[in-house]
Amino acid sequence: QVVACYLACHPRVEAVRYPGLKSDELFPRAANALVGGFGPRVAFLAVGAPAGEWRLWQADERDARDQVMELEALLAV
């Protein structure tokens, strides 16, 4: 969830899809259907990326700060 929130606020990210974000259109259904969390995958569309070229990020057991730093480096390119 931390990674999804970070991406949703990032100026170089145009859109984020993650069912755990209240802004996601699937949030109401996901909140009722998913037990134990919303999963580790976050899809995002970087500013300037070709239309439909979504990137998929798989969060893991590492500290969220490390993952955010890795994403920051990825988005800086």
Rounded Cα–Cα distance for residues 22 and 72 (Å):
23
Mean pLDDT, rounded, for 12-23: 95
> Rounded to two decimals, what is the model's pTM?
0.85
- pLDDT value at residue 72: 94
Mean pLDDT, rounded, for 10-21: 95
- pLDDT value at residue 35: 87
- pLDDT value at residue 43: 96
Taking only the tens place, the pLDDT of each residue in 31-66 is 999 988 899 999 999 999 888 899 999 999 889 899
- For 2-76, CATH number? 3.90.1150.10
What string of DSSP letters covers 39-77?
A: -SEEEEEETTPPTT--EEEE--SS-HHHHHHHHHHHHH-
